[in-house]
Structure formats: C-alpha cells, structure tokens
Structure 1
Amino acid sequence: MINFAIIGTGWITDSFIQSAHSTNSWKLTTVFSRSADSATAFAQKHNITSTHTTLESLVSDTSIQVVYIASPNSLHYAHAKQCLQAGKHVIVEKPATSTAKELRQLFEIAEANDVFLLEAYRHIQEPNFRVLEKVVKEGKLLGNIYGASLTYASYSSRYNNVLAGETPNIFSLDFSGGSLVDLGVYPISAAIALFGLPVSQSYKPYIIVTGADGGGIITLNYEKFGVSINASKIYTSSAPSEIYGERGTISMNGVTDIERVDFWDAKTKKTEKLGGEKVVLNMEDEAREFGRIIESMDMEAYGRLRVISDGVQKVTEDLRRQNGLVFKVERG
C-alpha cells in the first residue's frame, strides 16, 4: 500500500481519495489544512485521525510516501517544492505551477531527491482516451491526419459569483486562475498527448470583468495541420470532438469522461465503435497508473508525462502572454 497525504479538502480531493482506494494500492493516512477544524472534519469523513496544520510537520511525517496537492493554483509551487525537498513523491492537480520556470524548478528538485512530480491530467489515463491515442499513433485507421477539433466548454457555477460582483479564486489572476489554465489545459494536454508539441499557437479569449479569461478559441498549429479548441468556463458546448484523416473521421463526445469513440469510414460510409463503456470513477485509472509508476520507478512512463506537462505549460504561458494575462507571481 502507498501511504498518502492530501493538501486541499475540496470535492476533487474526495474524488481522488475514492478513486485511489478503489485500486487497493493506496491508503490515505493524513490530512493537511491550515484550519485544525477543517483538517479534523475532513479526516473524520475518511475514517482517519492523523492531521497536520503546518507544512513543516506534514513533510516531516515519515509515514507519508506521496502527497496529493489540490490547493489553489497559485499555491501549488510552494506546496510541491517543500514536499519534494523532503523526499515525498508529489501528485499535483493541474495546472502544476503558474509558470514554466516554476515547473522546471520542481522537476529539478524532484530529480535531485529521487522522487516523482506527477501532474494530474486524469483524462489521458482513461481507457477510452488510451484507445484513441493508440489509433492515432498507429496511423493505420486514419491515414494522414488533416486536422482536429476539440471541445471542452462547460459553464461554471463560480461564474455566477463573478456576475454577482465577486472574484472567485478560479477567475482571479492573483490566484493564477482563468479558463485557459483551469479548463483549456484538458484539450491542450490531449492534443499534445496525441500529436506532440505544436510549432505555434494562438488564443482569442473573452476577458471577463475580473481581468481573467472566461474562455475562447485556441488554435494549435502543427507542421501539416491545425487543431481548433473551443474551451470555456462561461458557456457550454455540446459539440463533439473530432479528428480528421484521409481515411475517415474519429468522433468523441469530448476529451474527458469519454463515453464513445467512433470511426466513420470515408470509403464504406459506415461507423465503427472503437471505445468501451465510460469509466465510473474517472480518476481511478490515473491513481492506478501513478501508483504503478511510483512502485516500479518507471522512468520511461514518467518521462512521457513530463513531456506533456512541460508542453502544456509552454503553450499556455505563451497564450497568456499574447493576451496580457499576467499572474500575480509574474508581476514585478
């Protein structure tokens, strides 16, 4: 069993704990929160008693092998840095850091301490995405790729707070928020996992009253084709995601929680189902794969995930700079 601690007591942490425990490879042993009451309440909900209210006491706990971090975006770097320096493996929710410089430093610290820094892009570990990835990389079914359209636009309840005059963390540049880094990273990471790093990129966002981006259209330019991404937290789209090839078109219901992967054959005009049923716990496969990487010290798999994390950070940072979206940690 891999003993792990958590930083952050929101709904996504609950989901990770449930998914991790379902693999029978993980065991939650302690909870961190700056509030003793919050830590105790969350720990009791998960039938444990160990809590920490300072990072110093957390990282000195020798029973902990891995720390799962789901604190506000702007705190990821500081939290991860301290855990990695203490020799703990770290799983950090996306975006792992606010800047490429921070991410590079964390990977260097992880390497120096013989531990892993894993960014939680859970969707690229799901079975139907693995089916999609295999088909695209083999190349036999699609032939030459002509382009792709990826969609992930989902109205956030937090936008109601914005409309009421508030500034939730997720829509605040002070907390490294905005649609691009909170939601756009899903289709961007999917594109990089499928096609590699683009040669250039552009973004036309809708800037909301808080100064952050609410969503918009992203274009990733590859050598021979382009990928159009519709990503937003202020409107919803039910449009499918598609990949276009010389031999046909692959269609999915999205890039996360994929329920179907279909191939339309341009020659026969028939549709073939490639994917299976949607997973019940959408973080279970991520927890299982991360556990396997840690236990087996699989450097090859870790290297592939690092390439994706580096690529996403590079792309999103460039897109932000093109549009004057500057986080507090970047201001002089």
Structure 2
Amino acid sequence: MSDKILVIGESREGVLRNVSFEAIAAARKMNDNAEVVALLLSDGELEDQAQEMIYYGADRAVTVKHENLKNYTSEGYGQVVLEVVDEETPDAIIMGHTAIGKDLTPKIASRLELGLVSDATEIETDGEDVIFTRPIYSGKAFEKKVIKEGITFATIRPNNIAALEKDESRSGEIQAKDVDVKDLRTVIKEVIRKQSEGVDMSEASVVIAGGRGVKSAEGFEPLYELANLLGGAVGASRGACDAEYCDYSLQIGQTGKVITPDLYIAVGISGAIQHLAGMSNSKVIVAINKDPEANIFNIADYGIVGDLFEVIPLLTEELKQQIG
C-alpha cells in the first residue's frame, strides 16, 4: 500500500486540466490515508494552481518554475520529475493519460527501471494490492494489473475517475523548488494549434462527432452550434478527416483520440471498428444516421434513423427552447 503518492499535474495556458484533479482522486482510491503530493511545472506563477490541487485533495504541492518549461519537452519535464522523485521518494506516481502523459511517463519509467500501467480506467484495492483496470484489443476487452514491487507507476484515462469535491477549507504546504533545467536537445520555437478553441475533447463531458455523412466542412457547422449549446466539443471519424472536412486533430478512434464522455452523439458515422475503439466506452451513445443498418446502431443506447441535416437543426432548436 502506498504511503506517499506523487501526482503530476498538467495545465494548458495557465489553467489546470481536469485530469490533474482526477489523478488526485485516483491517488485517494489507492490509499485514502497516503500523503498526496502534487507536482506542477511551468515558466509562470503556480501558486494559484498549487492551491487548487490542495482544494481538490492534495496534501501539499511542489512547484517548479523555469523558463525552459514554457513549452513541454520530455527532456525538460523529465529532468524535473526525476529530481523530485529522487527527493520525495514516493511509493507511487500518477499522471493523466494525455498526449503529454503518454510521451513522458514511459521515458520516466525507463530511467527509473519501473513498470508502467498505462491508460487505467478504474482503480480498486484488495488488501495491500492496488488493482488497475485497463482496456486492451482496442477496447474489446479489459485486463487487471497489479504492481507487486517497486514504485507503482500509472496513467489514468481522462474522464473515467471522478474528481473529488472541491473543498476550499483545505490547506497544505506549497513548496517552490529550484531545478536547473538545462542542456535541452529539443527547443520549441513556436506552437501552432490547429484544434478549435473551446472545450478540450479528451476531457469534454459531451462530444458531437461527425463522419462522412456530414458531406463537407460546412456540414460541421451545425455540429459546432449544438456542441456550444451543450458545453461540449466536436470530434470526427477518420473518414471525415480523410475527406478534408475537418482537421486530423479532431479524429477519434484507434489512430486518433480515445475518449469517454458522458454523452457521445455520432452524426453521419457508420461505426467502423477503428472508430468504435476510440469512443465505445462513452457512458451514453446517441447515433444519428439515415442508414438503419449502420454498425454504429449496434452499440448506441439511442438511435435516430433520419437525415442529419434535418435532425440536428430540430434537436438544436428544441434544446434552445428547453434551455431558454
């Protein structure tokens, strides 16, 4: 059983990602009596973010500020994490299974000669053992993993382990640590984001996804309107991306993003197995397709057989009336 758990937080443009709070909840699931230490890295001020981590369940926070942490590099982040791990000697390390988490954690695990359980969707305990559940075979099956010796190291899939309730009465030490991040072989000169502004799809509770049936880039506009109305994000099948209806940053599937929103609305998507691998674990799936034999209906909780260009405007208008 872990007595000290290091949670590596992640922020975007100065705002903590929800998976940072979910990682704290994961740590509490592993051992509610453990000391949970949050680690935050940036080139800017981190005091407010550190306090947020404490409000969401961390006992204390370690912040590292350095100009070479402005943009993510595995070298820069790796230097910091390794030094903090050496100083804190945690029994477990938890991070979100995000783009950064997927890149950073295998390298850290290799340097520390540790095993790594990646993309955990559930955590439970059995006596002294912590059991991680993770999908395999593109989500068609699940396996359970237990780390028997050494530091327990895992990443958790966003939007699967609910964050704890925010408690602003919580207090904890915030330690600013100096780490000399140097000798970087990779230098980020400029970051150009292709994905649209708004809710991050990997953490969105509602995702509206379009397929080839949307027929054009303009066909995605009603999807954006519906997503904005529901406070959600827009995604796409590979077919829609290949047809250049949208950017590949929106792709959901085996070779795209894997998401588990509370509500997934598939619009004009046939339901190829590669796409299902990226969204089949969504809590509620609604399919809209004019083909009643489309494969997507086999996994949908609710299906609407009809022309999406008629259904989506009607649905949007009805929601506008309900929301007021």
TM-score, structure 1 as length reference = 0.34
TM-score, structure 2 as length reference = 0.35
Structure showing greater radius of gyration is 2
Higher helix share: 1
